[in-house]
Chain A
Amino acid sequence: MKAMVCVKRVVDYNVRIQVKPDESGVVTEGVKMSMNPFDEIAVEEALRLKEAGKIDEIIAVTIGPQQAQEQLRTALAMGADRAILVQTDEAVQPLTAARVFAELAGKEEPGVVLMGKQAIDDDQGQTGQMTAALWQRPQATFASKVEIEGESAKVTREIDAGLETIEVDLPAVITTDLRLNEPRYVKLPDIMKAKKKTIDNTTVEELGVEAAKPLKVTRTAPPPARQGGKKVESVQELVSELKNKGLI
């Protein structure tokens, strides 16, 4: 059984993002880019499933600019077997990505498609679910535990109230949450070995996928500044202020 892992090139989580003064977006020039941390968890989960003998091949895929190859190389260095870059210079819309991944899933026929629950740049959190819908397969989102038994998977999900376990028939899409696993370190010799693994290049058009109508971002602004600084003189005053706000 194959696993297809979808990864995204995003601004590194450590970067202090700058909003451009003209409000046209966030500064990405010269900024460190990395694999979306939730997608790293997805790659790690695929590796563990392979080590447990549940799957025998891991294909890492991404939709993004040419430089997204770097993220595929990271996935290959972690242990993925081969990779596919669907090259586009447009900002990636979740619906377009989902159409692409559903199309690739149709071709590669993996038993499981794994990806992060959301990307830390746009925080949309849609691609996994959309891929599942278009592929007409189940979705198991916010996974904190994955167990594959034969033709189905038991997935424990992190929900607001606690944990929920569902069972999905394979093939299915699983999106990863933070507590699913801790990704392994990339070993230096593996980075070298990864250079010999293949990355196939294609485009959205070549796949025959229609790009979705985008959500147009017309303005990007910093968050409104908070007005702090009010002081109270006593506990009693604090309590009455909190009561006024309906907080206690």
Chain B
Amino acid sequence: MEYDAVIVGAGPAGLATAIRLKQLNSDTEVCVIEKASEVGAQILAGAVIEPEPLDELLPGWRDNPPNMCVPAGKDEFLFLGKSGATRMPLPPQMHNRGNFIVSLGAVCKWLAPQAEELGVEIYPGFAAADTLFDDDGNVAGVRIGDMGVARDGSEKSGYTPGVDIRAKVTVFAEGCRGSLTKQLIRRYELDEGKSPQTYGIGFKELWQVPDGRTETGRITHTIGWPVDRRTYGGGFVYHYDDNRVAVGYVVGLDYEDPNLFPFELFQQFKHHPQIKRLLEGGKILSSGARAIVEGGWQAMPTMEMPGALMVGDCGGTLNVPKIKGTHTAMRSGMIAAEHLAGDELSPRGYDAKLRASAVGRELYQVRNIRPGFHKGLWRGLINAAVETVTGGRLPRTLETRADWSSLQKVGEYPAPERDFYQRDLPPKDRLQSVYFAATEHDEDQPVHLKVADTDICVSRCREEYNNPCTRFCPANVYEMVEDEQGLRLQINAANCVHCKTCDIKDPYEIITWVTPEGGSGPNYQNL
């Protein structure tokens, strides 16, 4: 199969690229492949989006908006204590007038048919498992993963080998910590001279609550409790229509406490009296988790390589202080399309264009805010204030530090007092949470979480870090099981929600997430 452009990932960046390419030249043959069973099924984001790129890409969109799209209303920023909350002045990045609270999954689901109408071919249920290279070492396309492979690697009766999709240019739009882009960055040394990329883990639940509790359009962001001052974290509550509300929590993966349990922090956040009274008696419609890219300007790799380029968060275009990445992801896709259309599909020069664009300027301006939090909450806030006031013009760029290296060893970290509630809101535990992610993997397929050395788990890691994977995974994939066979790592691959946190945070860098069979994974509804 051969195209002008193959785009890996049907998220906002990938779809924006596809649409723009077709708008500029309807003869361009564009194909988008997507590992989820349906477009939007593995998209998870807050999300409050800035609409300008959408206005440019699809001018009439406001007359025909996607589902779950409400204009932003009241903004608030709270500093939480265990039971109280102090209203804080709203940082300028958090003014949302003119923005929209959306379900990013619903947005993508709405973009896809519009792309198809322009002639883009979209194939959900197919995972790009490998990059194809030509004899000169340029990217030549991607290979779809085999389907019908048994757990032991043999071919099941329905075995279907993956096909190669070749293209003049390949656009990687895999989202945060893409599995192919991870390899490509290494191969082409695209991170040369850059700061290490850093991440957070984001949890989200969509709730249906009793009448009279929600205020459509209301946007709440919080810092403070339940996270301690040395850990970066914060919560959000976004009110949709029809008594639906999204609650979520982000924990920076630069956390140091080996015993930290991010899922627990999210669940505690929900039990804060102000949040709990909103949720109590309601029910969970959908839930999930996803890593979120935080490194910003200094960590963004070179976004082009021979035969390919990267758009959106697989490079890292998210604006952390705004907690918004959709507008920059889309714009990076539009810029990519414009560049490719103007230059016979050659990616060369795209990186410079992106950095010189509004996306680059925006990321540059806020580049020092997130790294400032490596020193704790208060210094981070002061630094953030300084950087905001000076508009990022101070002649310095703070370095980041790789997340996998930030854990302190058990016993060396002064574990903070965690003042937690006895929880009674669902989900009771991660397994119950996974149920609402509707994640599905054929159990008889190779385990897609490759742990290079499981001996470390029962010996070194247990001692040094107390197996943090059993806590940072939002889906309880990793378990240390002790039974008649002894102590061992058990990987419950079928629970995986494709968040990529394990690939990022494991302190020995021995976990590699690869794509399971196409169509596997979460089936998020309206997240």
Judge: A and B partners, yes or no.
yes
Q: How many A-B residue pairs have CB under 8 A?
A: 56
Whether a CB of chain A sits under 8 angstroms from the CB of B1 is yes
* Inter-chain contact B144/A188, CB cutoff 8 Å: yes
- The answer to whether residues A18 and B208 also contact, given A30-B526, A32-B525, A187-B163 and a CB cut-off of 8 A, is yes
B145 CB → nearest A CB, Å: 11
Among residues of B, the one whose C-beta sits closest to the C-beta of A29 is B67
B33 CB → nearest A CB, Å: 8
Interface residues on B, range: 20 to 34
Whether a CB of chain B sits under 8 angstroms from the CB of A219 is no
* Inter-chain contact A31/B525, CB cutoff 8 Å: yes
Contacts of A15 in B (CB 8 A): 438, 523, 525
- The answer to whether residues A189 and B438 also contact, given A32-B525, A182-B158 and a CB cut-off of 8 A, is no
* Inter-chain contact A189/B1, CB cutoff 8 Å: yes
CA distance A29 to B160 in the complex (A): 33
Contacts of B165 in A (CB 8 A): 188
CA distance A135 to B455 in the complex (A): 65
Taking CB atoms and an 8 Å cut-off, the chain B residues in 121-161 that contact chain A are 121, 123, 125-126, 144, 147-148, 157-158, 160
Whether a CB of chain B sits under 8 angstroms from the CB of A192 is yes
B510 CB → nearest A CB, Å: 31
* Inter-chain contact B436/A16, CB cutoff 8 Å: yes
Interface string of B395-415 (1 = CB under 8 A from A): 000000000000000000000
- The answer to whether residues A32 and B436 also contact, given A185-B147, A188-B126, A191-B123 and a CB cut-off of 8 A, is no
Interface string of A15-46 (1 = CB under 8 A from B): 11010010000000111100000000000000
Among residues of B, the one whose C-beta sits closest to the C-beta of A30 is B67
Contacts of A32 in B (CB 8 A): 37-38, 41, 523, 525
Taking CB atoms and an 8 Å cut-off, the chain B residues in 1-48 that contact chain A are 1, 37-38, 41
Whether a CB of chain B sits under 8 angstroms from the CB of A14 is yes
B370 CB → nearest A CB, Å: 33
* Inter-chain contact B163/A16, CB cutoff 8 Å: no
Whether a CB of chain B sits under 8 angstroms from the CB of A184 is yes
- The answer to whether residues A185 and B106 also contact, given A21-B243, A32-B38 and a CB cut-off of 8 A, is no
Whether a CB of chain A sits under 8 angstroms from the CB of B268 is no
Whether a CB of chain A sits under 8 angstroms from the CB of B261 is no
Among residues of A, the one whose C-beta sits closest to the C-beta of B123 is A188
Q: What are 11 contact pairs spanning A and B, CB under 8 A? A: A14-B523, A30-B68, A30-B109, A182-B158, A184-B160, A185-B147, A185-B160, A188-B1, A188-B165, A192-B1, A192-B121
Chain B contact residues, CB within 8 Å of chain A: 1, 37-38, 41, 67-68, 106, 109, 121, 123, 125-126, 144, 147-148, 157-158, 160, 163, 165, 208, 243, 285-286, 435-436, 438, 440, 523, 525-526
Other than A14-B438, A16-B438, give 16 A-B pairs with Cβ distance below 8 A.
A12-B38, A14-B440, A15-B525, A16-B435, A16-B525, A18-B285, A21-B208, A29-B67, A32-B38, A32-B41, A182-B158, A185-B147, A185-B160, A187-B163, A188-B123, A188-B163
